[in-house]
Amino acid sequence: MGQGASRRLIGLVCGLLALTCALLAPRAEAQAQAAAERPNIVLILVDDAGYTDFGAYGGEIATPTIDALAARGARFSNFHATPMCAPSRAMLMTGLDSHMAGVANLPESTPPAHRDLPAYQGRLAQGVETVATRLKRAGYRTYMAGKWHLGHGPGDLPDAHGFDRSFALDATGGDNWDERSYFPLYERSPWFEDGKPATLPTDFYSSEFLVDQMIGYIGDGSGQAAPFFAYLPFLAIHIPVQAPEAFVRKYEATYRDGWTAQRERRRQGAVRTGLIGADTPMGPPPRNVAEWNALSPEAQALAARSMAINAGMLEAMDHHFGRLVDHLRATGQYDNTLFVILSDNGPEAGDPVAEPLFRLWLRRQGYEYGPDIMGGPGTYAAIGPGWASAAAAPGALYKFYTSEGGLRVPLIMAGPGMAEGQTVRAFSLISDIAPTLLDLAGVDHPPLHGRSLRPVLTGEAERIYGPDDPVGLEAAGDAALFKGDYKLTRNAGIWGDPAWRLYDIVRDPGETTDLAQAQPERVAAMLADYQAYAKAVGAADIPEGFSADRQIALNLIAHILADFRGLLLTGLVILVAVIGLAVFGWRRFARRSPERAGRLGRGITRGLVGLVGLLMVAIALRIWTAPQAFAATLGLGADSLLGVASLRADLGGFFGGGGIFALLAALRSDRRWLAPAMILLGLALTGRVISLVASGGGVPQIPPMIVEALLIVILALGWRALRPAPDREPSLA
């Protein structure tokens, strides 16, 4: 080839390259412009927030940052999560049903029979993509700081699921002041930074630290053409409730009139803010909530302080979230940011501090407990069922139940191009968030279980689910099937109802009127829809007698006992040695001085029997003066076989009468008085066993049953040691 031909070929190639660059430049510029126009996304997940906790939803707690965003965009009045955190988080992150995502239950409450099933692995299933993965592939920067709870093994943390940077807690919760374990299931709070174990700073407070991390990840936006996705799942307001005193102090007097009055105030707040109608009935109070006026002044002060801390914790979270919003404003990133704020389930009603075994573990961890100190570092508090039922108003029950109090939670969305001051009344589910974010970001995706909320946000449609579209939900045996305005529900937990109930949740969100008998055809059709859903997603049948809170309690007791195994074994060895030495010494003493040994033995027996009598009388007085509180500690509901109303006459009478007879036996050294004492105490124990079987009272009843059995054993030993008086019949004279 000649030089002229070579030059012509080179010129042709250069011309083609120039033409290609000219053609591609506008496309690349358009792609860059499209990326720049995509909204930033801030996803805020509040842990265990009730339906009326935010100010925008009628609550008294100061949440100005959240309220301002609600006014700027849309509140959802009929939005639902699952009744527990890990399944909700799986659906939020993937847009899939929790079973298909691999997290159908809490790992901590999954029954052994389910642990090998694909839907119950406690971590995101292989091949399941998160919204972060999809956004990252579309050019987003992706960040996460907060509670993950979707697996912490290799490949299970946020860094393996689409997040560029992350600082994650993988547990049900954690202490808000340091790394100590908040629950016996964990040795310490398991924090990870970018997939590696992390330590916390000495000045750590969870809400403040997580916002600091996120601000650091996002930066000021300079030199960044790509939009960001920021996922902030706070620890607030999960137990332990803890907050700086500056946020708690303002609520010191707010809750002194109790949870019943507070529940009605919350219902009125929801009416005032337009979420529900003025004639909306309040859901029935949970059976394990004591009457406020039946509590002692000390118990009332402790409860009011716990709720004040809870309020301060939520306000502190809102304050620090406000710092993130201020940062975005200051750096010019606010106007192009979509904000989504929601809760993962209803409010937490558990109060582990009420259990003596748990308090023993708390002391070993260095926790303190009391109204004068709670809230700060090294302290522990929980709001319990009374305040939880108020936070869920007007709904029934709370977290771990598929009643509206456990499922219906706040959802707020605000961002560019969104109409201000909207209230969206259409039914929606937490699996709808992921497709909504992808839709608003212009990211294509395969079909998901959830549906985009964009049509109801823009006014293109009034609802995203038609009146004949069945939407199923199941977690730990609690189940719900939504269809139009109706909901078919079953609650398997201790305080729930395992029967299928039908409610019109649009007109009756408190679920006060069961329509199952009036509309049997609708029940049959919806039950068939639920069974089809359960089969499609792989929901397993629950074991007989299972409930999530009972399973957690059993796992908790096992971990506590394992934690104290060395101490218990040492104590057992010492006890056996002491008993052996005592028996050996007593036998030698009895052989040498049988008469003295007999008198001493009877004296010791009389003393033990007298102590049993005093203890039984003290229990009877406790039952008589505070039957509601006593019933709550035993797991008895007002409508259980041995409910609150019958405690005075039944258990109170049994313990009181038995105690008096035991005292008479000790004072008179006459075993014949022990027979009625043992009979009455045996009846009390039998009644508790019947109640345990009939009402499913669970773990809280077991320790008192053990105590009663030991008391009967002591009285039986007294029967053997004491002799009947030879010259008189027992009488009250």
- How many CB atoms lie under 10 A from the CB of residue 487? 27
Mean pLDDT lowest among 10-24, 106-120, 353-367, 675-689: 10-24
Which of 22-26, 98-102, 119-123, 328-332 has the least mean pLDDT?
Answer: 22-26
The structural domains of the chain, with segments of one domain joined by +, span 39-537, 585-721
Q: Are 341 and 78 in contact (CB under 8 A)?
A: no
* Residue 154 three-state SS: coil
Q: Give the DSSP per-residue string, 249-295.
A: GGGTTTTTT-HHHHHHHHHHHHHHTTSS-TTPPPPPPPTTPPPGGGS
**Residue 373, both tokens:** 């100190």
Question: Prior bond to 240 cis, omega within 30?
Answer: yes
Tens of pLDDT, residue by residue over 450-477, are 999 999 999 999 999 999 999 999 998 8
What pLDDT is attached to residue 635? 45
Note the pLDDT tens digit of each residue in 201-224: 999 999 999 999 999 999 987 778
pLDDT of residue 563: 55
**More confident position, 338 or 688:** 338
Encode pLDDT of 690-730 as tens digits: 655 554 444 445 556 666 677 777 777 766 666 665 554 44
Average pLDDT over residues 535-548: 80
Tokens 């991390």 correspond to 213
pLDDT digits 0-9 by tens, 555-584? 666 655 555 555 555 665 676 566 566 655
Tell me the two tokens of residue 339.
């904000």
Please give the backbone phi and psi of residue 319, each rounded to the nearest 5 degrees, phi first.
-60, -45
Q: Is the pLDDT of residue 200 over 60?
A: yes
Contacts of 181 (CB under 8 A, 6+ apart): 175, 187, 188, 189, 365
Q: How far is residue 603's CA from residue 53's CA, in Å, rounded to a whole number? A: 60
Looking at residue 550, the DSSP 8-state letter turns out to be H
Contact between 180 and 366 (Cβ < 8 Å): yes
pLDDT of residue 638: 37
Question: In the numeric block, which tokens belong to residue 517?
Answer: 């008998």
Query: With bands split at pLDDT 50, 70 and 90, how would you rate the model's confidence at 29?
Result: very low
518 in Cβ contact with 501 (< 8 Å): no
pLDDT at 703: 57
Quote the CA–CA distance of 320 and 213 in Å, as a whole number. Answer: 12
Q: Which residue carries 């002591």 as its tokens?
A: 714
Top pLDDT among 331 and 363 is at 331
Least-confidence region, from 24-28, 96-100, 281-285: 24-28
Given pLDDT bands bounded at 50, 70 and 90, which one contains residue 336? Answer: very high
pTM, two decimal places: 0.76
Asked if residue 647 has pLDDT above 80, the reply is no
Q: What is the pLDDT of residue 28?
A: 42
**Residue of 482 and 616 predicted with greater confidence:** 482
Give the integer Cα–Cα distance in Å for 237 and 234: 8
Active site residues: 85, 149
Adjacent-strand bridge partners of 233: 45
pLDDT score of 123 = 87
Q: What is the mean pLDDT of the chain?
A: 83
- Does 2.60.40.1250 match the CATH number of domain 39-537? no
* pLDDT grade for 512, boundaries at 50, 70 and 90: very high
Residue type at position 232: L
Give pLDDT, residue 33. Answer: 43
Q: Is the model's pLDDT at 106 over the cut of 60?
A: yes
